[in-house]
Structure formats: structure tokens, C-alpha cells
Structure 1
Amino acid sequence: MQKTPVFVLLAVGLMLSLSCRFNPDMQTLGTDYLQGEWQQDSISMEKQLVNYSLYHFKFSCDSFFVSVQSFSKTNPGADTCYKSGHWAEYAKGDYYQKSDTLHLKGLFCNADMSYKEPGGCFRSGVYEEEFVIGKKTDSLIQFNPTSSVIPLELRLIKKSTCIPKPL
């Protein structure tokens, strides 16, 4: 009878120790072919569109920084924010690729990568986006957003190598 409680305690302790993990103290390597800076120069038929955005991504190990330049022929709000139909938003965070889908999750931030306080102009808080990766070469890649029908054709402007940093 004495062995049963000890065995149960050992089993529960083993299950708890296997289910809990500390967060890593270093960045992980991320996806090798994405490392570097990728620029979207234009989109097809942009002159016919009322609104569109152009993206600039920086991937470093398992982290990303994205700059989204948006353009609008209509006035979406106060001109102090939307600068006559052209404005920028920024986000940073972590990413991972599962099968053919790239998952980005982070926070909206300022251009200098500092945290963006809620309120004011544009979006704040959590940034979350998924892209299905289409055709790719060493210097060109296509991201198909799951939230839009307009694909992003990105060209590599600067290749880099992951050097993990402490977190």
C-alpha cells in the first residue's frame, strides 16, 4: 500500500516535468531562405485600385519587422494621420513556417521598433498575419495573404545569415 502513493506521485511529477518547458534564452534559427530584407515594389493594376499597400520585410533568425506603406485615393480619416492618402504602419514579432504557410505574430510598433502605445493614428496592439508561400526562387518570393486576394511579389534586396541573439 505504501508503494502506490509514491508511484502515483512519481508519475504525476514526471508528467508535469515533461509538459512544462522554459522559454529559450536564445533566438531560434528561423527559416533559412527568408533571412534578409524583401521588398514589394508594386502590385499589378495598382493605378486602378482605390486602396493598396506595399510591404517591406526584414527577417532575422526567428524574428520579423514589417513596414506597410498604404495608399488610398479616398480619405479614410483625419488628414493629420493619413497624409493625403499615404501612410505607414510597422510591426515586429516572431514567425514560423508550417508546411506552405508563414505565420507572423507580433505587435504594432513605431518606425524605430519601439512599442506603439494604443490609440492615436492607425492600428495598435497585436499584429497577426498568415501567408501561403507561392512560387519562390533565391531572389523572388510570392506571399499569398489569407486575408486578401492580392498576392505580394517580393524581391530580395539584402541577404543575411542568422546569428542568434540572447532574448
Structure 2
Amino acid sequence: MQKPFALLLLPFALIATLSFSCTPNADLQGKGESYLQGEWQQDSVPAQKKLVEYSLYHIKFSCDSFFMQINSFSKTNNGPDTCERSGHWVEYIKGGYFQIRDTLHVRGQFCNADHSLKPEGGCFRSGIYEELFKVKKEGDSLVEFSAASSLIPIRAHLIKRTTCTPKPL
């Protein structure tokens, strides 16, 4: 007795379906990059005293997540002083990251210092933050992040090393 051609293909179709079918999301966060785990601080930028505006970064990497504090300084008044506070203001961002070769992709949302989401409007930026950084590791405790949107690199030194302990999602 000859079997129809469709019945011969059935086992192969079943295997292919199981191989490429959807899988549930992981129940733990990813590990991220081990060399980035911890807190990184930028203390100054080149020619800082000559610049009209500049920003200094404090970045905390925890597994595949980050929390960024951007301290901005300006010698000119670009808006209401209630926001800029005599030329100094702080913005916060939380989100996730991943690295492919020498490029770090960070994506998050502007938030408040307590990690709560920042509402639309008000002072400064809100909503989605997304940036690509070319990363140059200059040792165990010094990393340079060159943002695609900025000419001034972020040279950050490690102030506290941590290890990733993935948390449930």
C-alpha cells in the first residue's frame, strides 16, 4: 500500500513547526555585559571651562538594565530659571541595553530620581531615550562611550563594581 505524499511530509512539518514556534519570554532578566556591571562616573570633559554647555554622566549598569543621571551645565540661560536653576539641571533615565561588537544600544525612558516615570511636559526631556554608543574599554576601570549624537565622548571610571544577579521579570 502506497502512502500519500502529504502523510510522508507530516513528520517533517511537525518537527519544523516545533523548532520555529514561539517560546515564552524568559522569566529572569538577562545578564548584560560583565565588564559594565557597576557604577561609572564621568568627572570632567575636555576643555570644560571653555564650553558654553556640557554634561557629566553617572551610569549604573545592573545585569541588562541601566540607570543614568545626566548633570548638565550651561553658561547661558535657555529657559525659565525654575528649570535650569542658575545653569545646572539633572535628568534621569532608566531602561535596558545590549551590546553588539563595539556598539552599546541603550533604550529607556526619562524618569525622576526615584525611578518613577517622568510625565510629559514640564522641564526638559520626557518620553523615550535611545542612543547608540561606540564603546572603547581602556582598562578594567575606564571606559569611553562615544555617542552617535555628540562630539564629546563620555570617559567614565568605575566607582563601584557589582555582579549581576538576575531578578524575576
Which residue does 2:52 correspond to in 1?
50
What are the ranges of 5 or more consecutive residues in structure 2 without an aligned counterpart? none
State the TM-score, normalizing by the size of structure 1: 0.91
Partner residue in 2 for 1:155: 157
1:110 equivalent in structure 2: 112
1:6 CA drift (Å): 10
Amino acid at match of 1:136: E
Q: Tell me the TM-score normalized by structure 2.
A: 0.90
- Could you say which residue in structure 2 is the equivalent of 1:71? 73
Cα distance in 1 between the residues matched to 2:14 and 2:83: 56
Identity %: 58
Task: Give unmatched runs, 5+ long, in structure 1.
Answer: none
Change (3 A) 1:2 1:121: farther
State which structure, 1 or 2, has the greater radius of gyration over its C-alpha atoms.
2
Deviations 1:57-115 (A, max 9, x none): 00000000000000011111111111111000000000000010011001111001111
Runs of 4+ in 1 over 2 A off after TM superposition: 1-8, 10-17, 19-23
Aligned length: 167
Q: Distance in 2 between matches of 1:155 and 1:138?
A: 9
Separation (CA, whole Å) in 2 of partners of 1:5 and 1:117:
58
Q: Distance in 2 between matches of 1:85 and 1:141?
A: 28
**Structure 1 residue matching 2:86: 3-state secondary structure:** helix
- Give the corresponding residue for 1:29: 31
Q: CA distance change for structure 1 residues 122 and 2 in 2, over 3 Å: closer, same or farther?
A: farther
Q: 1:5 to 1:50 in 2, by over 3 A?
A: farther
- What CA distance in whole angstroms lies between the structure 1 residues aligned with 2:8 and 2:39? 56
* 2: CA distance, partners of 1:12 / 1:122: 54
